[in-house]
């Protein structure tokens, strides 16, 4: 209704003004003033409605934009929080992966060391040419004696007797008196190289021990009395005095 009132007021003002002039009314100033007032009032009503529409429309648009902006801010905040959580998870997984890699690397190193130690333990004892030469020279410099070599007996492991035969050959090369290498069964087989004598001092026995130690083969020394000696809990029967008993046990 208000949308028609403004134009209608303008139309009335123009029509009435025209009719009054056509009737020959003398007070033209009043007629023009009346026309201006009505037209101005009509125009004011029309413009007021349009301004209200524009204002209301703009306010609605601004409110909608503000609501969308608030929604966008909340969504961005949620995305930032999600990214932060994911970043923390990724950092944690990276840390776990690094620790796992370090753990695996350490276990691999331990496995390599264990494998190397096992391979070294399984490798038969032997002497390089340089070791053999030094061993013979050390034996030649000291007092010589008679050596009886005994190795542990095993149907599956002949390493001790093989090494004993190699030592017997070097002893003979150095001018020592050496018989055949014999093998004996032990209830508790000894480990490494053992020297046993039933007379002290026994200089040839000490010379032999120092010769072994000098080429990297630590040798245990067992002085005893009587005809047997306790080696690692095993009572070993041995021969007469002044003889150096060399016992080749398992590789330690």
The last residue of a domain, from among 118, 145, 175: 118
pTM: 0.55
Angle in degrees, 0-180, between the axes of helices 2-22 and 28-122, rounded to the nearest 10: 160
Question: In the predicted model, is pLDDT for residue 50 greater than 60?
Answer: no
Q: Are residues 136 and 242 in the same domain?
A: yes
Q: Are residues 77 and 40 in the same domain?
A: yes
Q: Residue 53 falls within a domain, yes or no?
A: yes
Question: In the predicted model, is pLDDT for residue 69 greater than 70?
Answer: no
Residue with tokens 């093998």: 183
The last residue of a domain, from among 80, 97, 118: 118
Question: In the predicted model, is pLDDT for residue 207 greater than 90?
Answer: yes
- The 10s digit of each residue's pLDDT in 216-239 is 999 999 887 677 777 777 777 776
Q: Are residues 97 and 154 in the same domain?
A: no
Specify the number of domains making up the chain: 2
Domain of residue 144: give its range: 129-248
Q: Residue 56 falls within a domain, yes or no?
A: yes
Write down the mean pLDDT value for the chain: 79
Return the sign of the alpha-carbon dihedral for residues 39, 44, 45, 46: positive
- Give 241's contacts (C-beta < 8 A, 6+ positions apart): 198, 199
Q: Residue 123 falls within a domain, yes or no?
A: no
Residue 247: is it exposed, middle or buried by C-beta count within 10 angstroms (0-12/13-18/19+)? buried
Q: Are residues 39 and 102 in the same domain?
A: yes
For 153-204, the DSSP string reads --SS--HHHHHHHHHHHHHHHTT-EE---EEE--SS--BSEEEEESSSS-HH
Overall size of the chain counted in residues: 252
Q: Are residues 113 and 133 in the same domain?
A: no
- State the pLDDT at residue 4: 65
Residue 239 φ then ψ, to 5°: -90, -155
Q: Is the peptide bond before 201 cis (omega within 30 degrees of 0)?
A: yes
Q: Are residues 75 and 114 in the same domain?
A: yes
Q: Residue 124 falls within a domain, yes or no?
A: no
- State the pLDDT at residue 205: 94
Q: Are residues 45 and 71 in the same domain?
A: yes
């Amino acid at each position: 209704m208000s949308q028609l009132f403004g134009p209608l007021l303008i139309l009335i003002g123009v029509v009435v003004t025209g009719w009054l002039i056509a009737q020959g009314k003398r007070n033209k100033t009043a007629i023009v003033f009346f026309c201006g007032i009505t037209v101005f009032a009509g125009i004011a009503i029309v413009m007021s409605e349009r301004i209200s529409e524009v204002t209301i429309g703009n306010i609605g648009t601004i409110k909608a934009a503000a609501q969308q902006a608030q929604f966008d801010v909340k969504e961005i905040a949620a995305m930032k929080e999600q990214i932060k959580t994911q970043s923390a998870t990724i950092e944690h997984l990276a840390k776990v992966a690094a620790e796992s890699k370090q753990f695996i690397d350490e276990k691999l190193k331990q496995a390599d060391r264990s494998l190397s130690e096992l391979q070294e333990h399984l490798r038969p004892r032997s002497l390089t040419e340089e070791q053999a030469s030094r061993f013979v020279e050390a034996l030649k410099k000291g007092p010589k004696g008679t050596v009886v070599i005994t190795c542990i007996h095993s149907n599956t492991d002949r390493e001790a007797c093989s090494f004993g035969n190699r030592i017997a050959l070097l002893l003979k090369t150095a001018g020592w008196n050496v018989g055949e290498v014999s093998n004996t069964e032990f209830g508790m087989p000894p480990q490494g190289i053992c020297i046993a004598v039933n007379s002290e001092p026994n200089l040839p026995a000490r010379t032999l021990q120092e010769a072994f130690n000098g080429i990297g083969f630590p040798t245990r020394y067992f002085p005893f009395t009587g005809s047997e000696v306790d080696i690692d809990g095993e009572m070993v029967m041995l021969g007469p005095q002044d003889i150096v008993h060399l016992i080749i046990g398992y590789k330690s």
